[in-house]
Amino acid sequence: MKFTVFKFKKVNSTNDTALRIIKSKKFDFGMITSESQKSGRGQYGKKWVSFKGNLFISFFYTIENISITLKQLTKINCLLVKKLLSKYYKKKIFYKKPNDLLINKKKICGILQETLNILDKKYLIVGIGINLNKNPEIKGYPTTCLNDITVKKITKSKLEKQLKKIFEIKISELYRIRKI
């Protein structure tokens, strides 16, 4: 399965853009990227601080043909992002429920999942924010960024391509499991 790629310079949020594209009823699988976002969202209505140069990406796909729970999908999606980060950072990366990834007890990534029902289809939107070049200063919540803790400079476009491939492979597997 291939995700259709939608690239933007600036959006309110990649998840909001995914919602709009899904409602157009033309795509079942997509990946939204943006150079910047004005109103990134986190869990529980919190704001996601979106510094330009960091990674803002949302995947969306239909889930009516996937036979695992949303809770299981949440963990899988976090582990997929962890798999990507572990290519660049070889030490321990912690998964903090429900949707954060931490390095050295500092948040490097947040994931926001939302579901949407349109007619007879159910969609999952997986918004991913990775602090690549700059991390926000949040009182009482330490953060870090990937390029500060790795030796080799990592480009945003490379991360996007790798994450797309990881998601395409895993979601294809989940669809094949259902068909058996």
Range of the domain at 25: 4-179
CATH number of the domain encompassing residue 140: 3.30.930.10
Q: pLDDT digit string (tens) for 36-84?
A: 887 666 665 666 667 788 999 999 999 988 888 888 998 899 999 999 9
∠ CA 77-7-4, nearest 5°, is 60
Under a CB-based contact definition with an 8 Å cutoff, are residues 45 and 120 in contact?
Answer: no
User: Helices 156-179 and 70-85, interaxial angle, to 10°?
Assistant: 140
Tens of each residue's pLDDT in the chain, 180 residues = 899 999 999 999 999 999 999 998 789 999 999 998 876 666 656 666 677 889 999 999 999 888 888 889 988 999 999 999 999 998 999 988 888 899 999 999 989 999 999 888 999 999 999 999 988 887 888 999 999 999 788 999 999 999 999 999 999 888 876 554
DSSP string computed for 96-135 = ETTTEEEETTEEEEEEEEEEEEETTEEEEEEEEEE-SS--
Backbone dihedral angles phi then psi of residue 95, each to the nearest 5 degrees: -95, 120
Under a CB-based contact definition with an 8 Å cutoff, are residues 42 and 16 in contact?
Answer: no
The residue among 56, 54, 47, 67 whose CA lies nearest residue 7 is 56
Q: How many domains does the chain have?
A: 1
User: How many residues are recorded in the chain?
Assistant: 180
Fill in the DSSP letter of residue 43.
G
Q: What is the dihedral of CA 131, 137, 139, 144, to 10 degrees?
A: 40
